[in-house]
């Protein structure tokens, strides 16, 4: 193989390793920070701990996503009717970097400053600087959870309107002038229960006149909450076990039986 051929082969290998040119990338706290789950005594269930853990953020590739489509398809009473809108998926990659500045679990209970109820979940903030062509893109978020906002489905869109208007666009309801995304969802947990909450967050182009939505790439993120009896402290178990063995040896030396 000539030097030129070797150079071409190396260049192609490097391009393959880097993935599609211009594809969406994630920076910052893609892994939860802090990484440890947040524990707190559960006030509703004495003897149990509430354990909240944030999930790793991942890129959602361009193209149809069954979980998001399930969320899109659910009719939200007085808020959202998918029959009035057309959904399509772009195969054009977004040349953008989303900077995750916050991805952390939280666990708050009554008595904590500003809180009168129990809340456990995750906080997510994503910053980005859109190009001129990307200025019109908006966030759209679908949810999958086993503790649903609506009792009839585990999938739904994260939308909200100030008036009964099912023809409103399915955009994420909290928009900011600098295009950043922010959310701080929570769930509560019954004793010995596991809760999951997964978000499928996309950037999309919404045509309010034609009532059409074109989906691009996005981010998958979320959290889990568990309400469990705390595991025994390893050191205490070791000390307790050692004490039992010592007592057994003493009894045997003195000829005593249990």
Q: Which residue has the tokens 């947040």?
A: 38
What's the pLDDT band for 29 if we cut at 50, 70, 90?
Answer: very high
Q: How far is the C-alpha of 151 from the C-alpha of 76, rounded, in Å?
A: 11
CB atoms within 10 A of CB 42: 24
Distance CA 244, CA 222 (A): 44
In the chain, the percentage of residues whose pLDDT exceeds 90 is 52
**Residue pair 213/169 in contact by the 8 Å Cβ criterion:** yes
Q: State the pairing for strand pair 212-228/86-89.
A: parallel
User: How far from 182 is each of 44, 127, 175, 221, CA to CA, in Å?
Assistant: 29, 9, 9, 12
Please report, for residues 27, 150, 207, the alpha-carbon distance to residue 144 in angstroms, rounded to integers and kept in the order given: 24, 11, 26
Q: Tell me, what's the pLDDT at 31?
A: 98
The residue-averaged pLDDT of 68-94 equals 90
Expressed in percent and rounded to 5, the helix, strand and coil fractions of the chain are: 20, 35, 45
Q: Which of 68, 69, 142, 55 is nearest to 105 (CA)?
A: 55
User: What does the mean pLDDT of the chain come to?
Assistant: 81
pLDDT in tens, 82-111: 999 999 999 888 999 999 999 999 988 766
- Euclidean distance between CA atoms 93 and 64, whole angstroms: 14
For residue 170, the tally of other CB atoms under 10 A from its CB is 24
Q: CA 5 to CA 11: how far, in whole Å?
A: 10
pLDDT at 167: 72
How much is the pLDDT for 165? 62
CA distances from 6 to 15, 18, 21 (A): 14, 19, 22
- Between CA 81 and CA 168 the distance in angstroms is 9
pLDDT of 144 > 60? The answer is yes
Check: CB of residue 33 under 8 Å from CB of residue 106: no
pTM of the predicted protein model: 0.80
Taking the C-alpha atoms of residue 228 and residue 224, their distance in angstroms, rounded to an integer, is 13
CB 229 within 8 A of CB 50: no
pLDDT of 16 reads 37
* C-beta of residue 113 within 8 angstroms of C-beta of residue 43: no
């Amino acid at each position: 193989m000539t030097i030129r051929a070797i150079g071409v082969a190396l260049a192609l290998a490097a391009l393959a390793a880097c993935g599609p040119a211009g594809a969406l990338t994630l920076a910052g706290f893609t892994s939860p920070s802090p990484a440890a789950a947040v524990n707190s005594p559960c006030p509703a269930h004495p003897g149990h701990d509430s354990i909240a853990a944030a999930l790793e953020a991942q890129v959602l590739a361009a193209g149809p996503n069954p979980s998001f489509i399930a969320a899109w398809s659910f009719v939200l009473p007085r808020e959202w009717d998918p029959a009035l809108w057309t959904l399509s998926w772009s195969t054009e990659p977004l040349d953008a970097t989303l900077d995750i500045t916050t991805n952390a679990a939280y666990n708050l209970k009554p008595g904590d400053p500003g809180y009168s109820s129990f809340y456990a979940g995750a906080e997510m903030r994503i910053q980005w600087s859109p190009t001129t062509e990307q200025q019109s893109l908006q966030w759209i978020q679908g949810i999958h959870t086993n503790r649903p906002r609506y009792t009839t489905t585990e999938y739904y869109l994260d939308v909200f309107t100030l008036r009964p208007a099912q023809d409103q666009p399915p955009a994420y309801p909290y928009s900011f002038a600098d295009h950043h995304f922010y959310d701080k969802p929570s769930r509560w947990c019954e004793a010995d229960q596991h809760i999951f909450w997964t978000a499928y967050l996309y950037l999309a182009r919404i045509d309010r006149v034609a009532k059409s939505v074109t989906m691009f790439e996005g981010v998958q993120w979320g959290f889990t909450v568990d309400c469990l009896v705390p595991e025994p402290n390893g050191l205490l178990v070791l000390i307790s076990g050692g004490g039992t063995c010592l007592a057994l040896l003493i009894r045997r030396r003195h000829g005593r039986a249990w």
